[in-house]
Amino acid sequence: MPINYYIFLSICLFSIGIIGVLTRRNAIIIFMCIELMLNAVNLLLVAFSRMHHAAAYAVDNASLVGAEAQIFVFFIMVVAAAEVTVGLAIIVMLYRNIHSVDINFLNRLKH
């Protein structure tokens, strides 16, 4: 399958993520949208990794070219998981304090 399809899919996912982040006010949904964006990137990384690896494999079947990208994906997943943990904890604390997860109420940091 050509790489273009993956790229288009990735762009779509990413855009949905961005629009979600920009338009929604619920913190949890924003979180999910951020995850969506991360996964869009992950998808892209994996796709490119496969592509480059396939090209290199044809020349030398011991080649590891392209494998790094897949390591990145793991990193991103781990970081995202960590982020979600911290983020959700913050959201829970927020909910306990102001009984809402609407980010429009969270503008006190500007002071």
Binding site for other proteins (CB under 8 A): 18, 21-23, 25, 30, 103-104, 106-110
Q: How far is the CB of 94 from other proteins (least distance, A)?
A: 12
Looking at the Cβ atoms of 33 and 66, the one nearer to other proteins is: 33
Q: How far is the CB of 53 from other proteins (least distance, A)?
A: 27
Record the tokens describing residue 21, joined without a space: 């982040």
Longest dimension (CA), the chain: 61
Looking at the Cβ atoms of 97 and 107, the one nearer to other proteins is: 107
- DSSP letters, 91-105, are HHHHHHHHS--BGGG
Q: How far is the CB of 25 from other proteins (least distance, A)?
A: 8
Q: How far is the CB of 105 from other proteins (least distance, A)?
A: 10
| Residue linked to tokens 């983020």 | 87
- Report the alpha-carbon distance of residue 4 to residue 47 in Å, rounded: 10
Q: Would you call 26 helix, strand, or coil by DSSP?
A: strand
